[in-house]
Structure 1
Amino acid sequence: MASAFELTRNMTIGQYIPTDSAVHRFDPRFKLVAFGVLVLAIAFCNTYVGNLFALAFCLALFPLIRIPVGYGVSGIKPAVPFIIIIALLQFFFSGSIAPGGTLHFEYGVIRITGDSIRLVIVSAMRFVEVIFLSSVLTFSTSTTDLTRGMECLLSPLEKVKFPVHAFALVLTIAIRFVPTFAMEMEKLMKAQASRGAEFGSGEWWRIIRRTKDMFPLIIPLFNLALTRAEDLILAMESRGYVPGEERSVYTRYRSKGADWGLLGISLALAAVILWLP
């Protein structure tokens, strides 16, 4: 019962923890590129061995950034219902049979094939690996560095009048608001439970009931989100922020040999993930 109210403890994406590891000191531009390369490799990897290798590598990243593996793995818990729903849809309704494939069960529109079973397992592993990589990226990169790194990488788009700074800022704020929303949801759940509402009393697999229990929290959560957004706007305006105007930067990023080494390692790992049979 108590674990149902501990949302922030299991929300790893969007948290920045300054452990001063070697990964923290990498150039954020290279970290973003390495992250993109690995995510693309995972997205195109269709093999069990390749995904197992990627999963093992993602788990090894947590000790590297001085974060307990248990805390990093806890980030999967909020995503478990989505993984189950997606897996069930793929398991029962992905009915295509490749040449030489096997049909295990068929009833109406429901078809269970060897390809659907492999798709479910591989998709779940991909989902988990992307969550781990996203957690590692936000654990080791501050909000300012994420915004500046993304802005530097997208700067060529300014030639076609694309609002690079605004896009990078909005995307970074959205990522950082994830743990904020989890904290507000936790407060709402505790307030409702103190008034007699039932949260977390049902079994974990009763997804529909647990979803219905969350409906009374949606409107208050949106209200709190708008309040937080208004506070953020006032804070930015009080500091002289004007959208669209050119701004100076305090930190100038300069690439080092270690940054290029990080990029080379990520490319090599992506090649290995895609090459493994």
Structure 2
Amino acid sequence: MAEFELTRNMTIGQYLPTGSVVHRFDPRLKLVAFSALVLSICFLGGYLANVVALVFCTLLFSVARIPLRYGLSGVKPAIPFIILLAVLQLLFYGAGFGAGGRVYLHWGFIWVTSDSVRLVVVSAMRFVEVIFLSSVLTLSTSITELTHGLERLLMPLRHVRFPVHAFALMITIAVRFVPTFALEMEKMMKAQASRGAEFGTGQWWRIVQRTKDTFPIIIPLFNIALARAEDLVLAMESRCYTPTEDRTSFKRYRAKPRDWAMLAASLAISALFLWIR
């Protein structure tokens, strides 16, 4: 059943080598470009700007040679959260925020205005755009490249005694374990369903009931996470890994003209998003 295919709908944290030009970009500049695009998307408040940003994020899949259907599958797990957020914004946006808009419904403390409707649509589009960008970044960049790129970008913080290497390693391990935990959760759901648990029988909009159904697998999932963490610690210690010491890198990244052109284009597109009203 599609209910148990969690790994198919988990695009963040996986790597899909297609050999595209996006895969060959310098990971440091790729992270800077990704941050600039996400930051600009967070400030988009109009329909036109979000439509342009959504079209751009969709085209990125074609440039990276990643199937668009695979990218759309990453939005599916976030649909219940998007719906819940949309309902809360639509009903409880408040007259204090949407006083300038047209009032469609006013009942007690519930206000539905044109501004609240715009907020719901814009927030959903921004959420999808950020998921698309995150999927393209992780699908086109390996975990090793993400670690080295993030570490190189944060290297100036070492002067203030910030644990740059440990922080970069922590972030990349967290991203890498997202599909791993999705796979473990999928296995536990199938095991529980084979024993008579009600997984995949309820309707997708029954969020409360679906949340109650997942309670029996939360504690086993935490146990697996702790066991995985312990195995990772033992593996790193067996290789004499010491994060506090100065470490060298086997691979040195050198930005090429195409990488700087990509960064300049990303900054220009980010400025275009903010300029569109």
Q: TM-score under structure 1 normalisation?
A: 0.97
In the alignment, the residues of structure 2 paired with residue 78 and residue 98 of structure 1 have an alpha-carbon distance, to the nearest angstrom, of 30
Partner of 2:6: 7
Partner of 2:264: 264
Asked if structure 2 preserves the Cα contact closer than 8 Å seen for 1:97 and 1:103, the reply is no
SS of 2:106's partner is strand
**Pair 1:207 & 2:207 matched:** yes
What is the correspondence of 1:1-277 to structure 2 with a 5 Å cutoff?
Answer: 2-95=1-94, 96-98=96-98, 100-277=100-277
In the alignment, the residues of structure 2 paired with residue 170 and residue 217 of structure 1 have an alpha-carbon distance, to the nearest angstrom, of 25
In the alignment, the residues of structure 1 paired with residue 202 and residue 48 of structure 2 have an alpha-carbon distance, to the nearest angstrom, of 36
Amino acid at match of 1:105: L
Q: Offset at 1:81?
A: 0.9
Q: TM-score under structure 2 normalisation?
A: 0.97
Provide Cα deviations, 1:127-147, integer angstroms capped at 9, x if missing partner. Answer: 100000000000011111101
Unaligned runs of 5+ in 2: none
SS of 2:21's partner is coil
Provide Cα deviations, 1:175-194, integer angstroms capped at 9, x if missing partner. Answer: 11110110000000000011
Q: 1:98 to 1:194 in 2, by over 3 A?
A: closer
Q: Offset at 1:99?
A: 5.7
Provide Cα deviations, 1:87-110, integer angstroms capped at 9, x if missing partner. Answer: 111111111345642111111221
SS of 1:139's partner is helix
Q: 1:98 to 1:203 in 2, by over 3 A?
A: closer
In the alignment, the residues of structure 2 paired with residue 106 and residue 168 of structure 1 have an alpha-carbon distance, to the nearest angstrom, of 49
Asked if structure 1 preserves the Cα contact closer than 8 Å seen for 2:31 and 2:150, the reply is yes
In the alignment, the residues of structure 1 paired with residue 31 and residue 109 of structure 2 have an alpha-carbon distance, to the nearest angstrom, of 42
Asked if structure 2 preserves the Cα contact closer than 8 Å seen for 1:97 and 1:113, the reply is no
Q: 1:99 to 1:88 in 2, by over 3 A?
A: closer
SS of 1:105's partner is strand
SS of 1:106's partner is strand
Asked if structure 1 preserves the Cα contact closer than 8 Å seen for 2:98 and 2:116, the reply is no
SS of 2:246's partner is coil
In the alignment, the residues of structure 2 paired with residue 53 and residue 200 of structure 1 have an alpha-carbon distance, to the nearest angstrom, of 36
SS of 1:71's partner is helix
Q: Offset at 1:272?
A: 1.4
Asked if structure 1 preserves the Cα contact closer than 8 Å seen for 2:13 and 2:178, the reply is yes
Unaligned runs of 5+ in 1: none
Provide Cα deviations, 1:177-216, integer angstroms capped at 9, x if missing partner. Answer: 1101100000000000110111111111111111110011
Amino acid at match of 1:118: R
Q: 1:150 to 1:97 in 2, by over 3 A?
A: closer
In the alignment, the residues of structure 1 paired with residue 267 and residue 185 of structure 2 have an alpha-carbon distance, to the nearest angstrom, of 39
Moved more, 181-190 or 62-71: 62-71
SS of 2:74's partner is helix
Q: CA RMSD in A?
A: 1.0
Asked if structure 1 preserves the Cα contact closer than 8 Å seen for 2:151 and 2:168, the reply is yes
In the alignment, the residues of structure 2 paired with residue 195 and residue 101 of structure 1 have an alpha-carbon distance, to the nearest angstrom, of 53
SS of 1:104's partner is strand
Asked if structure 1 preserves the Cα contact closer than 8 Å seen for 2:44 and 2:273, the reply is yes
